[in-house]
Amino acid sequence: MRKKRVVFQGESGAYSEIAALKVFPESELISKKMFQDVFEALNNATADSAVVPIENSIEGSVNEIYDLLLDTEKKVSGEVFLRINHCLIANYHHTDRLEKVYSHPQAIAQCRNYIRTKNLEPVPTYDTAGAVRQIKEGKILNGAAIASRRAADLYEMKILDQGIEDMKNNFTRFIILSDVETKPSGNDRTSLLFGLRNKPSSLFLVLQDFATHKINLTKIESRPTKEKPWEYNFYVDIEGHQEDKNIMEAIRSISNSTTFLKVLGSYKKGTF
C-alpha cells in the first residue's frame, strides 16, 4: 500500500513541511514552489492532501489562500497550529559584518524590530527554507536567512541566533485540504465562503442569522471578488459542525441572502 502523498509550499525545512509532518508523520511529502502549484497538485490528484498556512497570529491572513479556496472542490478537513520560532541562519564561513537578511515577507515582518536593531537590509524570497538554500548555494557570506532550526539542520548551516521573532506568542494556523469529510467530534469548526449583493444591510442580515441560531463566529475576512470594483466575498469560521441542527438551519437561511454560498468544510479544532 502506497504512502499518503501530502503537498506543501516551500523547500524542505519550511514551516509548512513541519506542520505537515506534525499531522502526517509517515507520509510522502511533496514540495511545491508556489501556493497555486500546491492547489494544482491537489486538484489533479497527484497529491492526496495539502497543508497550507491560512493565518498568522501576528501578521494576519494569507490572502492568496482565500482566493484559491474559491476554485477548489477539495474540503478543509483539519487544522493545525504551529509555534513559529525563527532562527538567524548563515554559512559557517560568513563574514563578521552581515549586511542582508533573506526570507519570506511574512517572516521578515515578524522579525522587523530585530532586523532593524541589527541594521540588516531585508531581501524578500518565496520561502523561509528556500532562503537558507539560496545563501548556501549562492555562497552568500555577507547575508543570513530567517528560517526554522530544521532548515538549518537540513542544509548544514550555522544558527547565529534563535527566537528572533518580535512577538514570542507567534503561531501560524495551517489548514488541511483533502477529499475527506469529517464527522462531528463535539469540538468542531466550520469554514464558509459566500458572496453578498451590494446593498444596505446585506452583511448584517447574514450575521443576524448566525446570532439567531446561537452560532459563534471566530473569524470573518473579506476578499475582493476581482470581478467588480469594491465588491467582496466573505470567508467565515464558525464554531460547530455542518451536521449540527442549528448550523444546518443557519446555512439554509443565509443562502437566501447570498449570491453564492460554499461550505469549505467542517473539522475538529486544532490545539496549540
Q: Is the dihedral of CA 40, 43, 47, 49 positive or negative?
A: positive
Question: For the chain, how many helices (H) and strands (E)?
Answer: 9, 15
- For 260, what's the count of Cα atoms within 13 Å in the CB-facing half-sphere? 10
Helical pair 202-212 and 245-254, crossing angle rounded to 10 deg: 160
Of the residues 24, 35, 39, 174, only one is catalytic, namely 174
| Other residues' Cβ atoms within 10 Å of the Cβ of residue 183 | 9
Q: Is 127:9 a contact under the CB 8 Å cutoff?
A: yes
Q: Quick one: three-class SS letters along 7-24? A: EEECCCCCHHHHHHHHHC
For the record, the C-alpha cell of 197 comes out as 449583493
Catalytic residue status for 172: yes
Q: Is the dihedral of CA 181, 184, 186, 190 positive or negative?
A: positive
Catalytic residue status for 258: no
Q: Could you tell me whether strands 87-90 and 143-147 are parallel, antiparallel, or unpaired per DSSP bridges?
A: antiparallel
* CA triple 188-191-243, angle to 5 deg: 55
| Other residues' Cβ atoms within 10 Å of the Cβ of residue 256 | 10
Of the residues 128, 172, 182, 258, only one is catalytic, namely 172
Residues involved in catalysis:
172, 174
